Structure 1
Amino acid sequence: MLVAGALVDSFGNGLFLAASTLYFVGVLRFPAAQVATTLSVAAIFGLLSPLPLGHVADRWGVVRTYVALMCLRGAGFAAYALIHGFAGYAVLTCALLAAERACSPLLQVIVSGVAGQEERTRTLASIRAVRNAGLTGGLLVAGLVLGLHVTAAFRAVFLVDAVSFLVIAWMALWAVRASDGIPTAPAADVRSGAAPYRDPRFMVFTVSNGVLSLFDSLIVVLLPIWVVQRTELPHAWLSLLLAVNTVLTVLLQAWVHRFATSVDGSVRLLRATALSLVVGCGLFAVAERVPVWVCLVCTIGAVVAVTVGENLQSVAGWELSYVLSPAAARARYLATFSMGMTAQRIVGPTLLVSALLPLGSWAWVVLAALFAAASVGAVWSGRPVAGPVAEGTPADGPVVVAVPADGRAAEGAPADGAAPAGGGRAAAERAASHPK
């Protein structure tokens, strides 16, 4: 059900991506420069929002917070169909992007609680795979609808998107109540406050993962510019290169998750990630200095290598970020972890295009060195340090509160946000320009 919810979410994302810029700039006549500035400011809100909202989730309950954010996003996207002034657009965009960025780590907590240790990485991999299909479907459907060139069609897209969030919220509640329990955090531990930014090992892992995530900006931003400026490849081949990345991601997610079911397996994946990314950088460097058809072969090989590294890193990151997160502060920790990837989306394009691309072939040497250094940091910090387990937090089993069929806590069970005695912890997503 959570995978189905991700499909609905990404389908709505595709609808909104296709409609938003055309509507706000073309129909409402907002200045393009002001829209771009709003998106930049909203990106800062999106970077900062996960940590405070993760703290709220640890206190109030992850599922409650996630559902509330989904309902807020539904109301916000419905409001997009009603606004006429730029101020309303700016406020909505900042609020909705902040809510969107906070939802991703909360979904990871929910998946981990519902699916359990053995299935959580597989489920997250499935979610990542279906998002590609849903996004593509949403873009295609929106293209057909918007071809009517009717203002009402744009507003209908926003309203359909708004309803999709309510459907996702219902699906999340259904999945939790159909499972054996609902993830929570011990209230006493939450009040004492485990701060992820005071955990040096976790912060090293977060930063290292953010640097490894530069593959995202490499494929989405740098690759098209590099093809145009540094190679003689026909520009039509760019679509093929991006298609290779998309299709291979869908195929790999169904396979690589099985190697990330333990700490040792995930650490090995991080080493393989570094190797794949470094090989990809090497092939890009070679492609700049060879005839066009050899360049094409090298470029396809580079895209394949980077895509393999991308998928290895994603599943390893999910598993190890969960392992390194104490149960009492899991939402805060995973929210902080997500900030590393969000920061990459903000800084990465400028770093790669403005700072590295002018270096010519040396850009790939520098980027390969960054990937290698980040891998060393991630491998070092990704192994939890053995230590005493907090009282009421045994090594195995997620922190859960049983939820009977009627949705009420069982008699004698602690309230949402408190863990039962014997509860414990288990061993343990590309951004759109507009919020979704």
Structure 2
Amino acid sequence: MAKVIPFRAVRPTRDKVSLVAARSYQSYTMAQRESRLRDNPFSFLHIVNPGYRFDKEVSGKARYGLVKNRYLEFKEDGIFMQDEIPSYYVYRIVNRDGDMFNGIVAAVSAKDYENDVVKKHENTIEFKEVIFKNYLKTVGFNAEPVLLTHPDNDVIKQIVAKVQQERAEFEFTTTYRDTHYLWLVNDANMVKTIQQEYENMPTIYIADGHHRSASSYLLYKDLKQGNPNHSGNEKYNFFMSYLIPESDLKIYEFNRLIKDLNGLSKEAFLIKLDALYRIENRGKTPYKPSKPHHFSMYLDGQFYSLYLRQSQYQFESSLEALDAQLLYKTILKPILGIHDLRNDDRISYSHGKNDIVEMVNKVDGGAYKVGFGMIPATVEQMKHIADDGLKMPPKSTYVLPKLRSGVTIYEF
């Protein structure tokens, strides 16, 4: 039974939401960040980059305190307001490719994360969890929902469709050409029905935001332990999430880029690959695989197709059949010597939504020696791996939608 409840969001006023909303800080280039900070005083980037006011980079605990100060200033200046009534927030995104995503922003139980009702499919890095937990503990709010997914639900779908017949509270288009809509749901009957439908779900899955959810769980444990009057209803018992049906989820692959051939010549490398793969040189014609266990490779200005010799490799679990894991077990680790996918600086990732152009440019530019592409993982693969208690390699999925920070904020 998933506990998914309404909450009183802090959010921008209608006239300023398009100015406040921001992508994740890391997704901007330095020049883009500078431009937005210089030209838009309402951008949420001013909150997460508080040192801009002092023309100074600020990090660590000092930054956390300044983030909280900037946030409080936005509230004091009337840029943010808080809803009086706990609500669910129906949220729609229509991206520039025409994809449409419909879901509900709500507060999800951290205890459900602990009890595996909220299931994970990707490993996290412990020190990153702790850093973000300490950040949350200082600033006291979360401004970017975790993306969760669940089986399609007709009742919730009907309520969402009914709500969307009314005028949206927010409707804005970003410079990235995505259009965002938000509606409040605080009708008592609707709220009760939505909550019951989520309670009937035995499992929901993290689609994107494993570190954010893990950090929220660590925060819950810390604050629970430090509260002798803990009741289970405190705000820190929950974390903000965007819940969408599985049919709305869109998954892309991540390409792998490797800086060297681990001391091997091109010819020696290809000979080692031949033991497990049927290799075909495709020349300069761009090649993308279309089937599971097939890979594209870009090396020395040429594309290759790699077809797994299945007689030489056995799939012993749902994880072993995942292409990102297969590439790691058969090529990256034994041939190229990449053992630690998270911390080895010889490997980098480029999500497949950028197609293969970025991979080609980086290899041709000399920053990397070889690149690998694969088909995206499926929702069913993601769920099976989570249900089996296994974890995907890092950067196995690039998931859409991507929400903007600062549109709904959860205080605890």
TM-score by length of 2: 0.24
Q: Which has more strand, going by share of residues?
A: 2
TM-score by length of 1: 0.23
